[in-house]
Amino acid sequence: MKILTSICVLLFAYTQTTPASMPLTPIHPYPPNPYCNRTLDSFSMPVVECPNDGFMYQVNLECIDRCLATYRACMLQAFDTACDQYNQANINYETAMRLSLQEYDLCFAAAQTVIEREACRTTVLRNFNEALQVLDQDRDTIETDFVINTHECKRQFGLCAGDCCIKVW
């Protein structure tokens, strides 16, 4: 909410100036993409759990290596997908902001009265708010999908690793 308040103050300041005095650059409301530039160190490796049924098990290391390779690929794909989606959400937001500012500039230039200029300001603020809401919704969806995808990677690893446990007695 604090970020949104800061953005609204900046947007209000923009609308109090003549359109030509401000560049058409959108305000970035949040930190940079948290999903890009990930490495294998960005996530923890799952633990191999053999059945706890009173028997002794030995783990087939070659089998576990295959499971880990599949897990790593799945996790990196989850990060890559979220990275791309997050970047696209930012592009959509920036486009909406630029279009709103262009609309404001045209409206302001055509306005003949203070009331018409106030209507321009009200419209651009509404458009900014809508762009922020869409961005927040997109980012929430990306985070939810990312969590689902990473849980699926862990589930698949567990299924694979279960086949790597060899009963020895």
* Residues spanned by the domain of 115: 77-169
Whether 111 is covered by a domain: the verdict is: yes
Residue 53 is assigned to a structural domain of this protein:
no
Q: What pTM was computed for the model?
A: 0.74
With respect to residue 133, please indicate whether it lies within any of the assigned structural domains.
yes
Nearest to 155 by CA among 84, 56, 57, 49: 49
Residue 4 domain-assigned (yes or no): no
Does some domain include residue 27?
Answer: no
pLDDT band, residue 133 (cuts 50/70/90): very high
| Residue 162, H or E segment | helix 114-162
Which whole number is the average pLDDT over 118-136? 93
Answer yes or no: is 55 within a domain: no
pLDDT at residue 149, rounded to an integer: 97
User: pLDDT band for position 39 (50/70/90)?
Assistant: confident
Side chain identity at residue 74, one-letter code: C
The H or E element that residue 99 is part of is helix 61-110
